[in-house]
Structure 1
Amino acid sequence: MEPRYIPSLSMFPTFEVGDQLAVEKVTRYYRPYSRHDVVVFYPPEAFSLFSARGTDEALIKRIVAVEGDTVQIRGGKVYLNGQAQDEPFVTDKPEYEWGPMVVPAGKVMVLGDNRNHSLDSHIWGFLPRENVIGRAVFKYWPPWRAGAVEG
């Protein structure tokens, strides 16, 4: 387990600024990442084209598509393989269009839950799986918001 804190609102309402959480880094070796997992990762090189922050500073987002999925964002919804996705963790629908594109082998697509205020895969592309540090599993601070991270 590794402690992490939330520095921005890109994952609101799931996380608020200052929330602290535990990230587990073991199951990646025997359980593939899946849709809806909340992951901490180092952004790909393309991230530097859109942000002054370097690629050595970890980010947190939700996996919305895995390798082989055809993903599209249109009309305020995420579509996987032609099917609109139910995303109860998102409060504001995306105001942008993206895709359709197939997620390449060895990559995932990650989006912030705060879809219109997140620098994520819809801007800088697919994330290599090897950039993922681990899954967010438990929010422990503040105590009144403590609990399992829903995936």
Structure 2
Amino acid sequence: MKRSQLVREIVEILALTLLIFLVVRFVIQSYRVDGPSMEPGLVNNEFVMVNKVSYLFHEPARGDVIVFHWPQDTTKDFIKRIVGLPGDTITTDRDHVTVNGKTLNEPYISAPSNPEGRTWKVPAGEYFVMGDNRPVSDDSRSWGFVPKDYIVGKASVVFWPLPNLHFINTYPDVFKDIPAHK
């Protein structure tokens, strides 16, 4: 093999490696779960794979677990479940969450817990998110809505530690019969 041919092949391999790295970096991202707010489904120090292009093709949906820039300090990222879409009316009492008049049966939460009964109307272009571990979750109930532009992507797979490998359940049956917002 000629030296120039070898150099060319090395350059091609490096260019292809760089291209693959860049594509993967812009399409997926890993995120480390920090804290207990998403237990029991996601636990502290698990790593999830975040699909960063998912919402280029469709809008976020109720039940999606998303990673987003925290509206109070955009240098920090949080992970929570979308409960309310733009235009929805969310109502809480001590033990229940109601979306557009339908009370949710939430099998994914650790325990029902809302600090106060309250009602929110989700503005256009924003989302209402809640952690699954309601007694300890810092979420839309305390600091408000998540603008769509702050969403990093949809968390789809827990990949580390390896024994915890699983797809993240969005519980579509919980949200399927919610009436359109008024």
TM-score past 0.5 threshold:
yes
**CA deviation map 1:96-120 (0-9, x unaligned):** 2243221110000001111110111
- Equivalent positions of 1:1-150 (< 5 A) are 1-44=28-71, 47=72, 54-150=73-169
CA contact (8 A) 1:43 1:127 kept: yes
* 1:4 alignment partner AA: Y
SS in structure 1 at match of 2:141: helix
Residues 76 and 96, structure 1, Cα contact 8 Å, conserved in 2: no
Higher-Rg structure is: 2
Identify which range, 11-20 or 91-100, moves more after superposition: 91-100
Asked if structure 2 preserves the Cα contact closer than 8 Å seen for 1:98 and 1:122, the reply is: no
Q: Which moves more between the two structures, 126-135 or 97-106?
A: 97-106
Higher RCO, 1 vs 2 (CA within 8 Å, ≥6 residues apart) = 1
How many pairs does the alignment contain? 143
Give unmatched runs, 5+ long, in structure 2: 1-27, 171-182
Residues 67 and 105 of structure 1 are in contact (CA less than 8 Å); yes or no, is this contact kept in structure 2?
A: yes
Q: TM-score, normalised by structure 2?
A: 0.76
Provide runs of 4+ in structure 1 moved above 6 Å: none
TM-score (norm 1): 0.90
| Equivalent residues of 1:23, 1:134 under 8 A apart | yes
Note the alpha carbon deviations across 1:3-31, whole angstroms, 9 max, x for none.
Answer: 11111101111111110110001121121
RMSD (Å) for aligned C-alpha atoms: 1.1
Higher fraction of helix: 2
Unaligned runs of 5+ in 1: 48-53
- State the secondary structure of the residue aligned to 2:163: helix
Whose strand fraction is larger, Structure 1's or Structure 2's?
A: 1
| SS of match in other structure, 2:112 | coil
